[in-house]
């Protein structure tokens, strides 16, 4: 996929602000700091359109990106950051529910997981949460460049097993550093978008 055009549409704090254009969407979920923004930047070949930050738990907005005027990437706020107040946590939950339960043009999700570790309890909860909305989930096992070649197979198998991934869902080994997995990620996304 050649990306000729990509831009941020809006950082939305509530439903009222979601883009109205009825174009299909792919949402990206994952733990804070797991590499969501880096994934977007790598996929669209832009160094810093999606902001990568060292301050986890900061963004409490849904960031909508338009790609080639064809579809949206939606960067959903990360989870699992310890230093978040109860109030903020509740607000995050409401944002998730508001988006995932009602967004009609949402076609699939990408759940970004750190390939170096066993999925966390929060990762498992998020996978099941997305499945409960009937969504296809692409599991992106990122930071693969940080694994030794000999560890890759075992780690990928662990991810698949711990999440109890369903047949329809694709596990995609990925690295935002090297670009490994980019083609499979595009192929899978475009099929979910019917493109």
Ligand X SMILES: Nc1nc2c(ncn2[C@@H]2O[C@H](COP(=O)(O)OP(=O)(O)O)[C@@H](O)[C@H]2O)c(=O)[nH]1
Binding site for ligand X (CB under 6 A): 30, 32-38, 52-53, 56, 78, 142-143, 145-146, 175-177
Residue 41: how many other CB atoms lie within 10 Å: 19
Cβ proximity to Mg ion: between 29 and 106 the closer is 29
Question: Is residue 109 near Mg ion by the rule CB under 5 A?
Answer: no
- 181 φ/ψ sector (left φ>0, alpha ψ -120 to 50, else beta): left
Q: Give the nearest distance from C-beta 83 to ligand X in angstroms.
A: 14
Q: Which of 188, 178, 107 is nearest to 142 (CA)?
A: 178
Question: Is residue 142 near Mg ion by the rule CB under 5 A?
Answer: no
Q: What are phi and psi of 126, to 5 degrees?
A: -65, -40
Task: Report the partner that residue 146 touches, choosing among Mg ion, ligand X, none (CB closer than 5 to 8 A by kind).
Answer: ligand X
Residue listed under structure tokens 């998020």: 126
Cβ proximity to ligand X: between 16 and 55 the closer is 55
Q: Which stretch binds Mg ion (CB under 5 A): 37-45, 65-73, 82-90, 186-194?
A: 37-45
Write out the H or E segment, with its range, that includes residue 133.
none
Q: Which stretch binds Mg ion (CB under 5 A): 33-41, 66-74, 133-141, 182-190?
A: 33-41
Cβ proximity to Mg ion: between 37 and 175 the closer is 37
Cβ proximity to Mg ion: between 53 and 151 the closer is 53
10 Å CB burial of residue 142 (0-12, 13-18, 19+) is: buried
Q: Give the nearest distance from C-beta 175 to ligand X in angstroms.
A: 4
Q: Are 39 and 176 contacting, i.e. CB atoms less than 8 angstroms apart? A: yes
Of the CA atoms within 13 Å of residue 46, those in its CB half-sphere come to 19
Question: Is residue 37 near Mg ion by the rule CB under 5 A?
Answer: yes
């Amino acid at each position: 996929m050649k990306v000729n055009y990509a831009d941020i549409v809006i950082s939305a704090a509530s439903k009222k602000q979601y883009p109205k254009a009825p174009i299909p969407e792919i949402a990206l979920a994952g733990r804070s700091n797991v590499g969501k923004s880096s994934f977007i930047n790598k996929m669209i070949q832009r160094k810093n359109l999606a902001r990568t930050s060292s301050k986890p738990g900061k963004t409490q907005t849904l960031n909508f990106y338009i790609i080639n005027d064809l579809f949206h990437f939606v960067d959903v706020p990360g989870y699992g950051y310890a230093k978040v107040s109860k109030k903020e946590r509740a607000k995050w939950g409401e944002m998730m529910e508001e988006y995932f339960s009602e967004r009609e043009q949402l076609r699939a999700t990408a759940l970004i997981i750190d390939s170096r570790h066993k999925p966390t309890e929060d990762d498992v909860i998020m996978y099941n949460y997305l499945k409960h909305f009937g969504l296809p989930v692409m599991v992106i096992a990122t930071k693969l460049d940080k694994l030794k070649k000999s560890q890759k197979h075992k780690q990928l198998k662990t991810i698949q097993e711990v999440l109890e991934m369903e047949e329809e869902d694709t596990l995609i080994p990925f690295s935002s550093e090297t670009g490994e997995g980019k083609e499979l990620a595009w192929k899978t996304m475009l099929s979910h978008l019917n493109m």
